[in-house]
Structure 1
Amino acid sequence: MKRFFPVLLAALTLVSCTGTREITRTELKDKIAGAWIGQMVGNIYGLEYENKFVDEPGEGPFTFNKGMNKMAAVDGAFSDDDTDVEYLYLMMMEKYGVDPNYDQVKEGWMYHIRDRVWLANRAALGLMHYGFKPPYTGKKEYNPHWFQIDPQLINEIWAYTAPGMPDYAAAISDWAARITSDDWASSPTVVYGVMYSEAFFEKDVIKLIKLAKSYLPKTDRFRKVMDECIDLWKKYPDDWKAARKVMADELYVNEPDITKSIWNADLNGAMGILALLYGDGDIEKTLNIGCALGFDCDNQTATICGL
């Protein structure tokens, strides 16, 4: 925790400058530590079911088996692709300040990321080694995976350092998402960034979702997806499977071929929103539904458990 401390101080200063919200250093450190542990728990919990439930939702009970076996091998939690690039971004913040620029982030990517990245992240890294700079590394003209899930699963650190500052969290989340992604694929990242930032002060899941939605343009595709998730939750308050079928049909089965993928950003973002809605604020229920909803579910369980 020592190396994180300068960033915490900067975050406290930014919050104080607004004159509207205050959080003690002790509270801030506790919430960040709790959220990071939550990410680890959710990631390891969902890892066994990653990409396993596609055509149909999963059936419980769900366990830690696969993740626990890996933990035993390394004597502790480990970094998966849902909890890795945050370390890199933190290092860049420590080196250059809380607002590193694209050139500085590119430097960090090219030096520290060698392997074990996929899809939009892999394509962006390759483009960097060919001389491209962000945000061109995320442009759909160059990155064939611009529409995938990647930015929403490596973004939490930008909100950890923006407690109670959803405007800043939304802007920096979109900025970071453009390193690997383009167009509507950045929207779920913005939503999670806002929710994480606001969650330092707000515990009501529904309020968090509605606030985050308000940061997207009314014409935004993922905003419409969120509206549909909320409507389905109201229509089927006790049947998440019915809601899942509607969204899976829309965003996977009937998705245009060029962006049809089990790792599609909006598809997995929708599964995260459904897990939060049907989880009723209960962490175990939310995790189990997050696993059962399927697709790239260890991302959803990591993100929502941290939240």
Structure 2
Amino acid sequence: MPPESGHWLNNPHSEDIDFQIEADFAGLMAPGMVNTASEICDKVGHIMNYGDGWYGGVYVAAMYSLAFVSDDVEFIVTEALKSIPEQSQFYKCMNDVIGWWRKYPNDWKQNWFECQKKWSSDIGCPKGVFA
């Protein structure tokens, strides 16, 4: 039963990107209020995900929320990351992406290559990416 339906004990896909795809509404409902957006995510997101699957949604919602008060994309992307625990894989991955963007600001392909080198083997889906 919700909200435990998204927990890894009940859902082998708890770390998939479902909530990341759906979470924009939480940021739209809480313009400039990242903590409120996170609270909405806590109530809704665990229906489908936990762990990194849920953190992705919180991050997306935080970016939407911040976009109401800033048009500085770098600020939005880095500030929203503060809503995610630093020890999570999601945080580490996004932090790497931001770091590579800073290192290769005019070369998205190099950034993508760095992502592939480090993160392409991190597959949370129990059946794999192409199953």
- Displacement of 1:171 in angstroms is 2.1
Alignment partner, residue 209 of structure 1: 77
Aligned sequence identity (%) = 29
User: 2: CA distance between counterparts of 1:202 and 1:194?
Assistant: 12
CA distance in 2, matches of 1:196, 1:177: 16
1:260 Cα deviation (Å)?
4.1
Q: Secondary structure at the match of 1:178?
A: helix
1:200 to 56, 68, 84: 68
> 1:176 — aligned with what?
44
1:223 aligned residue (57, 66, 91): 91
Larger radius of gyration: 1
TM norm structure 1: 0.39
Partner of 1:241: 109
Corresponding pairs, count: 129
In 2, the alpha carbon distance for the partners of 1:160 and 1:255 equals: 30
What amino acid is the match of 1:194?
A
TM-score normalised by L of structure 2: 0.87
Measured after TM superposition, the shift of residue 256 of structure 1 is: 5.0
Aligned to 2:122: 255
Query: Is 1:167 paired with 2:55?
Result: no
Q: Hey, what's the Cα distance between the residues in 1 that align with 2:104 and 2:57?
A: 26
1:272-296 per-position Cα deviation (integer Å, ceiling 9, x unaligned): xxxxxxxxxxxxxxxxxxxxxxxxx
Q: Would the alpha carbon gap of residues 259 and 196 (structure 1) be closer, same or farther in structure 2, given more than 3 Å must change?
A: farther
Query: 4+ residue stretches of structure 1 with deviation over 3 A?
Result: 256-260
Unmatched 5+ stretches in structure 2: none
Deviation of the 1:248 alpha carbon: 2.4
Q: Which residue of 2 aligns with 1:4?
A: none
| Structure-2 residue corresponding to 1:187 | 55
| Residues 18, 48 of structure 2: 8 Å contact kept | yes
For residues 186 and 232 of structure 1, the distance between their equivalents in structure 2, rounded to whole angstroms, comes to 24
Q: Match for 1:196: what amino acid?
A: Y
CA distance in 1 between counterparts of 2:36 and 2:60 reads 13
Residue 145 (structure 1) shift? 1.4
Kept after mapping to 2: 8 A contact 1:134/1:179:
yes
Shift of residue 178, structure 1, vs aligned partner: 0.8
